[in-house]
Structure 1
Amino acid sequence: MGNMTQPPTSVEPGSAPQGPVDLTGPGAEPSPPVKINVPGNHLMAALLGPRDELLRLVEAAFANTTVHVRGNEITVTGADAAMVARVFEELVVLLQQGHPLESRTVTRAIDMVRVNERPSEVLTTQILRTSKGVPIRPKSTGQKRYVEAIAKNVITFGIGPAGTGKSWLAVAMAVQAFQAKRVDRIILTRPAVEAGERLGFLPGDLMAKVDPYLRPLYDALYDMVDTDGTQKLLEKGNVEVAPLAFMRGRTLNNSFIILDEAQNTTPEQMKMFLTRIGFGSRAVITGDRSQVDVPGGRSGLDGLEDLLEHIDGLDFVHLTSRDVVRHRIVQDIVEAYDRASVVDVNKRR
């Protein structure tokens, strides 16, 4: 435990030592005990969770650190005392800003503090509330950067693996823009690579043909606007759904356009889409380079960043396994595939 004769350090939320403790140098000792004073009994109860469940989550994440709670005071001792103090102070700030704590929030806050990020600056950013009043927020630093890029730029590319919220957040930003009357309509599109873009050969009307390919975007709309609201928007033309092939020859003004699964566009299709964007419009292009199904393997995303990087009003945001917001096992799977890809590339060299 190091020198336990030193007096504990008393900190208020917002002032805990920053950064991880370096224990690798010669003669390095664990950080001294740290005390966190939590204002208000209601905050302490929410911080610890029912039957101290949230407290146990923090303790389990830092096995070489001990946490003692007495009244409104938390005392942390051990190698990672400073880092654990930062976790608690960040959680207190979240509570003070009206963000309820649950196990997923605490786990994500721990992961963020480990890499010197501020959960209180990320998890409190609200895009909108769903029809049921549930707030939609970015859940990682990468997601927050993605949302900020969409708000700032005319064209934003969100590139990353499954589960990173690329499509979900794009739809949230589209709904926000429509509700604020910054755009007149939302356009959802993606390449129907499974049908070779020849939707005329599929049974049913246009909606029936396109529906299976855009189901993830529909699901997001249903969650945010509800089923009846989405149907009304579709009937009024405020939400338009079309395969990418139907974009040719059009100019899309005052619209929020989402091109999903862009890794399955060809370079020609990507150029066609990007040149459809008209005045007052905003576009978000999402893609996962690990899931290219386009015939010939020539994706419209290949080399695009180098080609367009000098253009103002356009940005690329790369999301990683750290931005995966599904079950923790999904993040582990993505990381395993990423490691395998690196090994495969090295073998080919």
Structure 2
Amino acid sequence: MESSIDFDDEEQMERVCGINDRNIPYLETLTGCELFAKGIRLTYSCPDELSENRVRLLIPRLKGLANMQEYISEAEIFMEFQSLRHIRPVMDLAQHGEPEQKPSITVQNRIAYPKGLRQEAYLRSMQKSQIVFGIGPAGTGKTFLAVSYALSLLLSGKKQKLILTRPIVEAGENLGFLPGDLAQKINPYLRPLYDAMEAMASLSTIHRLEENGSIEIAPLAYMRGRSLQNAVVILDEAQNTSVEQMQMFLTRLGEQSMAIVTGDISQVDLPRHKQSGLVHALQILQNIEGIEFVLFDSKDVVRSRIVQKIIDAYALDGDGGKKGMHS
């Protein structure tokens, strides 16, 4: 039995199907259906209802992506498929209709959008909660989305300041011997945050915001005693905070400020006798209104499919999977 899906125009269809329909074979592999593109119509023939539901739910999501960007890669198709396959069963999703419109972040005419339902939940949490924890392995987009959202608040005038901070585990030794002023000393530690900023805003904009004090970088230890008003604060690598540091950080926030805390509790670098402040926060702050936790896993990795496999391999390995989980 054949069915079909119509696109809005040829451009939208080309973005989904790829130039010369090069995405079609990959879509067929994922869904288990035969696909035929002609004009602005995609016709599909599927062996069973499950496969048909995959196409019926996946293609509209890809159409939504095509409205926000000029090119859709296999990796992005894979993540959209993963979000359907792993968050809820496809048959269950089919009963609830198509997923709601994705939220997005706009910074200087550049758009960042969540890839997968877990990232959607993360962004929605940032939009409604004062404190959001994004916890999970590398490559899940938790830092990129946090920085993109923070920049959007800053450049739209909703917040006056963006503060980037992280614990410097080696502060007693290595940091003091690095050349330059404080900003230059900790810049290598905050490089992932700068990479995310540079993906969304021009270098000239970032430098201007730094020069006028709208963007501030600081080691976590320098946050003690401060009271943060009308600011958005990102605490990165939070798994390496102590319990005392995490408490100190979270109690800096004024009513008009928000915090986004990111970390990977499988990569704790603290001494074994020290409990991770991120692990502790996950244990005691779950039920406080205004605080939300979004937990990512390997199925949410958007960096590449091979990163998913690497994370799973280390998780299965006794020592690798247990590294850093001490509390």
Contact 1:91–1:109 under 8 Å retained in 2: yes
Which residue number in structure 1 is paired with residue 22 of structure 2? 53
Cα distance in structure 1, aligned partners of 2:251 and 2:16: 51
Structure 2, gaps ≥5 residues long:
323-327
How far has the Cα of 1:210 moved from its partner? 1.1
CA change 1:184–1:271 in 2 (3 A) is same
Structure 1, gaps ≥5 residues long:
1-32
How far has the Cα of 1:49 moved from its partner? 2.3
Larger Rg: 1
Cα distance in structure 2, aligned partners of 1:219 and 1:264: 21
Where do residues 6-25 of structure 1 align in structure 2 (5 Å cutoff)? none
Where do residues 1-349 of structure 1 align in structure 2 (5 Å cutoff)? 33-39=1-7, 42=10, 43-63=12-32, 65-69=33-37, 72=41, 74-79=43-48, 80-92=51-63, 94-95=65-66, 97=67, 99-100=69-70, 102-103=72-73, 104-115=75-86, 116=90, 121=99, 124-129=102-107, 131=108, 133-196=109-172, 199-200=175-176, 202-296=178-272, 297-340=274-317
After superposition, the C-alpha distances for 1:202-243 in whole angstroms (9 at most, x for unaligned) are 442111111111111112122222211111111111011110
Cα distance in structure 1, aligned partners of 2:235 and 2:213: 18
CA change 1:135–1:35 in 2 (3 A) is same
How far has the Cα of 1:198 moved from its partner? 7.9
Percent identity, aligned pairs only, is 39
How far has the Cα of 1:280 moved from its partner? 0.9
Cα distance in structure 1, aligned partners of 2:276 and 2:211: 34
After superposition, the C-alpha distances for 1:240-272 in whole angstroms (9 at most, x for unaligned) are 111011111111111111111010011111111
SS in 2 for 1:84: helix
Q: Structure 2 length normalisation: TM-score?
A: 0.84
SS in 2 for 1:303: helix
CA change 1:327–1:274 in 2 (3 A) is same
How far has the Cα of 1:37 moved from its partner? 4.0
Contact 2:80–2:116 under 8 Å retained in 1: no
- The count of residues paired between Structure 1 and Structure 2 equals 309
After superposition, the C-alpha distances for 1:309-337 in whole angstroms (9 at most, x for unaligned) are 23211111111112211011011111222
Which residue number in structure 2 is paired with residue 17 of structure 1? none
Q: Structure 1 length normalisation: TM-score?
A: 0.79
| Higher mean C-alpha deviation, range 229-238 or range 111-120 | 111-120
Higher relative contact order (CA closer than 8 Å, sequence separation 6+): 2
